[in-house]
C-alpha cells in the first residue's frame, strides 16, 4: 500500500504501526474489547483494503491517542512506536492548553488543595462546577474526589519525614508516593508510611516530581523529561546511599524501573563500567519486564547486535547509570512487604477483619510480573476473605488522566464496561486495588467502597505498632 506521508513524520510512524499490526493480526480478536486502539486500527486498515482510502492525518492522530499504554498487548516495540507518534504529533502541532493543565496532576493538587472548600463547591454537580470542569478540560460528568485539607507532603513534613533518617536508624527506605496519593488520597500514603514503620523501616519522603506517566501518555516529552530528570537526581543519590525506593502506585514503579531504564544497560557508560571487551556487549540477565538484573550476564557480539542493542529510547538523554541505579533499587510496596515477611520482618499480628473483598490487580502492576503480593499479605489477616479478580485482559478504562479529558471520557467509560460488568457479577462487599486511577473509575461507576490494600493492612495492624507510627518511632537526622 502506498501513502504520501513524509518520511519521519508522525503520520508515517503511526501508519507503520497499522501496517505491522495488520500484517500480524494477532491482536484483532484478543484485544477487540479490552483496548480502544486495536479496533480502530483494524477499522482503518479494513476500510483501506476495501476502498483504497488511506487514513488521514487527523485519523492517525486520533488513533494513537486511543492508546493508554496499559501494556495488555504483547509487543513493546509497537507501544514504543505509538508513543513516538504521539510525541512527534505534539512536537510538531503542539499540545492543547487544556491537556497541559490536566496532565499536571501535581499542579492541580496544589491549586485545588490550597482552596479545598471553594474547589469542592465548584467541582460539585452544579452549573458552575460543570462550567469550571469544562474550562480546565475535564468532562462535566467526571466525578472528582474531595480535595483533602492536608496533602501528604505537608503531613510528612510535619513529622520530619522529608529529612533523611539517621544512618544508624536501621534499614532505610525512600517512599515515592506519586501525585495521586500525595494530593488526592493522602490516606493511602499515610497508611503506607505507617505500615513500613511498623515493620521497623525508617522512611524518607523527600519532595519529588510526578513520575511522568500522564505527560508521557499525552506525548509531552519536555514535561516528562523535566520531571524524570529531577526525580533521577534525588532517587539515584538515595539509591547510592543504600535506600530502597518503594512505590505504592504501580504506575510509578512501572515508570521508574521499567520505562525509564529501557536500553540503559546497552549504553557505553554501562559497558565501560562493567569492563566489557570492545567486541562484546554485556548485559545482566533479566528477571522480568521491570528491568531488574537477575544475576549472571548475557553476552552479545557487538558486530551483530550493535544496531539493535542500543540506548536510543525515550529516556536515553538521561544518565544511563543513574537510570540503572534507580531501577535496580525500586520496588512495589506490596512486593517489598512480602519479601520482608519471608525474612521474618514483615507486617504481622493482624487483628481480625470480617469482610469479603475483591482484589483487582491493575495493568501496570501485572506488567511488572511480580505476582499478587497484596493477596498473599491480605490473606494473613484473620477473617478477611480476599478473592482475586482473575483474568489479564481487563482495564478500568481511566488510563491515568485520559479518562478525565473531555474528549476521552465516553470512550473511557466504554473501555471500562467489561471490567465493571464482571465486578457486578461478583458483587463484592469491597474492592481493593493498588491503582488510584482504577479507584476513581470504580468510584464513578460502581456502588462498592474502594480501598488500597495497604489501607487494609494498616487497619489490621495491632494498635501499639500502628499507634507509634506517626513519625514517633523514627527520628530524622536533622
Supply the minimum distance, in Å, between the C-beta of residue 319 and ligand SF4.
27
C-alpha cell of residue 322: 543513574
Instruction: State which residue, 17 or 138, has the beta carbon closest to ligand SF4.
Output: 17
φ/ψ of residue 33, rounded to 5? -105, -25
Instruction: State which residue, 392 or 429, has the beta carbon closest to ligand SF4.
Output: 392
Residue 247's DSSP bridge partners are: 176, 332
Supply the minimum distance, in Å, between the C-beta of residue 142 and ligand SF4.
20
CA atoms within 13 A on the CB side of 255: 26
Residue with cell 509497537: 78
Q: What is the DSSP letter of 151?
A: -
Supply the minimum distance, in Å, between the C-beta of residue 423 and ligand SF4.
20
Biggest CA-to-CA distance, the chain:
72
Supply the minimum distance, in Å, between the C-beta of residue 445 and ligand SF4.
19
How many other C-beta atoms can be found within 10 angstroms of the C-beta atom of residue 88? Answer: 21
Instruction: State which residue, 73 or 239, has the beta carbon closest to ligand SF4.
Output: 73
Sheet-wide strand order for 330-332: 202-204, 172-176, 244-247, 330-332
Environment class of residue 131 by beta-carbon count within 10 Å: exposed (0-12), middle (13-18) or buried (19+)? exposed
C-alpha cell of residue 19: 501496517
Instruction: State which residue, 87 or 276, has the beta carbon closest to ligand SF4.
Output: 87
C-alpha cell of residue 209: 516530581
Supply the minimum distance, in Å, between the C-beta of residue 351 and ligand SF4.
40
Supply the minimum distance, in Å, between the C-beta of residue 24 and ligand SF4.
3
Q: Which candidate, 460, 218, 267, places its Cα nearest to that of 352?
A: 460
Dist CA 361 CA 373 (whole Å): 10
Strands 293-301 and 244-247: unpaired
Supply the minimum distance, in Å, between the C-beta of residue 30 and ligand SF4.
8
Dist CA 251 CA 258 (whole Å): 10
Instruction: State which residue, 20 or 385, has the beta carbon closest to ligand SF4.
Output: 20
Instruction: State which residue, 41 or 358, has the beta carbon closest to ligand SF4.
Output: 41
Instruction: State which residue, 12 or 229, has the beta carbon closest to ligand SF4.
Output: 12
**What is the CA angle 328-197-147, rounded to 5?**
90
Supply the minimum distance, in Å, between the C-beta of residue 471 and ligand SF4.
40
Which residues of the shown chain bind ligand SF4 in the complex (CB under 6 A)?
20-21, 24, 26-27, 31, 35, 37-38, 67-75, 78-79
C-alpha cell of residue 2: 502506498
CA dihedral 214, 215, 219, 223 (to 10 degrees): -170
Q: How far is CA 233 from CA 74, 152, 207, 226, in A?
A: 32, 22, 12, 11
Supply the minimum distance, in Å, between the C-beta of residue 84 and ligand SF4.
13
3-state secondary structure of 380: coil
DSSP string, 408-471: THHHHHHHHHHHHHHHHHH--SEEEES-HHHHHHHHHH-SS-EE-HHHHHHHHS-HHHHHTTTT
Supply the minimum distance, in Å, between the C-beta of residue 223 and ligand SF4.
20
Instruction: State which residue, 366 or 452, has the beta carbon closest to ligand SF4.
Output: 366
Instruction: State which residue, 76 or 371, has the beta carbon closest to ligand SF4.
Output: 76
Instruction: State which residue, 78 or 432, has the beta carbon closest to ligand SF4.
Output: 78
Amino acid at each position: 500500500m502506498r501513502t504520501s506521508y513524509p518520511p519521519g513524520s508522525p503520520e508515517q510512524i503511526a501508519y507503520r504501526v497499522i501496517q505491522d499490526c495488520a500484517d500480524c493480526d494477532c491482536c484483532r480478536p484478543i484485544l477487540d474489547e479490552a483496548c480502544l486502539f486495536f479496533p480502530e486500527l483494524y477499522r482503518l486498515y479494513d476500510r483501506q483494503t476495501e476502498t483504497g482510502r488511506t487514513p488521514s492525518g487527523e485519523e492517525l492522530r486520533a488513533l494513537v491517542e486511543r492508546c493508554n499504554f496499559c501494556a495488555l498487548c504483547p509487543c513493546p516495540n509497537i507501544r514504543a512506536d505509538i508513543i513516538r507518534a504521539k510525541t512527534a504529533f505534539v512536537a510538531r502541532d503542539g499540545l492543547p492548553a487544556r491537556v497541559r493543565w490536566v496532565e499536571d496532576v501535581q499542579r492541580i493538587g496544589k491549586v485545588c488543595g490550597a482552596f479545598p472548600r471553594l474547589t469542592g463547591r465548584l467541582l460539585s454537580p452544579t452549573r458552575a462546577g460543570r462550567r469550571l470542569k469544562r474550562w480546565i478540560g475535564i468532562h462535566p460528568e467526571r466525578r472528582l474526589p474531595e480535595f483533602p485539607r492536608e496533602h501528604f507532603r505537608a503531613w510528612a513534613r510535619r513529622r520530619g519525614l522529608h529529612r533523611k533518617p539517621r544512618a544508624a536508624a536501621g534499614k532505610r527506605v525512600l517512599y515515592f508516593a506519586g501525585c495521586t496519593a500525595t494530593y488526592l488520597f493522602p490516606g493511602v500514603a499515610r497508611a503506607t508510611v505507617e505500615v513500613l514503620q511498623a515493620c521497623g523501616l525508617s522512611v524518607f519522603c523527600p519532595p519529588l516530581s510526578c513520575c511522568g506517566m500522564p505527560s508521557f501518555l499525552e506525548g509531552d516529552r519536555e514535561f516528562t523529561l523535566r520531571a524524570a530528570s529531577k526525580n533521577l537526581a534525588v532517587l539515584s543519590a538515595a539509591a547510592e546511599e543504600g535506600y530502597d525506593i518503594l512505590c505504592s502506585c504501580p504506575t510509578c514503579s512501572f515508570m521508574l524501573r521499567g520505562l525509564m531504564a529501557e536500553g540503559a544497560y546497552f549504553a557505553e557508560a554501562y559497558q565501560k563500567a562493567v569492563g566489557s571487551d570492545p567486541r562484546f556487549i554485556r548485559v545482566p540477565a533479566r528477571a522480568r519486564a521491570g528491568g531488574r538484573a537477575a544475576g549472571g550476564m548475557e553476552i552479545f557480539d557487538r558486530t551483530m547486535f550493535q544496531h539493535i542493542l542500543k540506548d536510543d529510547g525515550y529516556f536515553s538523554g538521561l544518565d544511563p547509570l543513574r537510570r540503572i541505579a534507580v531501577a535496580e533499587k525500586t520496588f512495589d510496596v506490596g512486593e517489598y512487604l512480602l519479601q520482608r515477611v519471608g525474612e521474618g520482618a514483615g507486617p504481622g499480628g493482624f487483628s481480625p477483619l470480617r469482610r469479603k473483598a475483591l482484589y483487582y490487580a491493575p495493568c501496570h502492576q501485572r506488567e511488572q510480573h511480580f505476582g499478587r503480593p497484596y493477596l498473599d499479605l491480605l490473606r494473613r489477616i484473620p477473617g478477611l476473605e480476599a478473592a482475586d479478580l482473575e483474568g489479564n485482559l481487563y482495564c478500568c478504562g481511566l488510563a491515568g488522566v485520559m479518562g478525565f479529558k473531555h474528549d476521552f471520557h465516553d470512550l473511557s467509560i466504554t473501555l471500562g464496561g467489561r471490567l465493571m460488568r464482571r465486578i457486578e457479577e461478583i458483587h463484592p462487599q469491597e474492592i481493593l486495588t493498588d491503582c488510584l486511577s482504577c479507584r476513581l473509575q470504580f468510584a464513578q461507576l460502581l456502588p462498592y467502597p474502594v480501598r488500597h490494600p495497604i489501607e487494609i493492612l494498616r487497619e489490621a495492624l495491632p494498635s501499639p505498632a500502628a499507634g507509634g507510627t506517626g513519625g514517633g518511632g523514627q527520628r530524622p537526622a536533622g
